Chain A
């Protein structure tokens, strides 16, 4: 998975609890992304980062926050998890902004269940 490690791989939590998912890369790519994957939808962008401490919102950012304190780590936090956030979460990396030849490479995913 292109030098990308997501942790944990599986998590079950209760509504209202905070959850943090971690993405770690060894490729030294500038861009990192968090997506969610749900039945009936393509991958949907939550947040992305274009450098240390530089982040921006994606299509479905409500209820999520991110942080990037080091090039290699990108954290996704659900401040107060809800059942609608039950999903599979994927981290991706790319050398440049989405576009020609800036292919996004994905981690193995984290399956999150909010009960």
Chain B
């Protein structure tokens, strides 16, 4: 999962396998969460969001799970492809405040 430090957590998966990327968020008052994907040399790209009144949300090949009890968020990517190689990070929002962004996990897909 994500953590503050100079080296990003890394995850390597075989092409076609499923990937699970984790994020521990910091504030129990956060009620809205976003996952971003950032490819090398590019800006963060929105993937999927979830509100705290849900515990699961699905998109195209991606699923976000939210466990408010332990303040944990995960992003599942089905049938991972080489184009999924990137840094993934979560963002949390407390109502009336700005987003707080995690440091990210680097995903490498092995062909």
Contacts and interface: CB of A to CB of B under 8 A. Distances in A.
Interface of A: 1, 4, 35, 39-45, 48, 58-59, 90, 97-101, 103-109
B43 A104 contact: no
A100 to B, nearest CB: 5
Interface of B: 4-6, 31-32, 34, 36, 41-46, 49, 51, 89, 91, 93, 95-104
B44 A58 contact: no
B42 A48 contact: no
Given A98-B93, A100-B32, A41 B103 contact: yes
Given A103-B34, A106-B45, A43 B6 contact: no
A103 B46 contact: yes
18 contacts: A1-B42, A1-B43, A40-B4, A44-B101, A45-B98, A45-B99, A90-B43, A99-B32, A99-B95, A101-B49, A103-B49, A104-B34, A104-B46, A105-B46, A106-B36, A106-B43, A106-B45, A109-B43
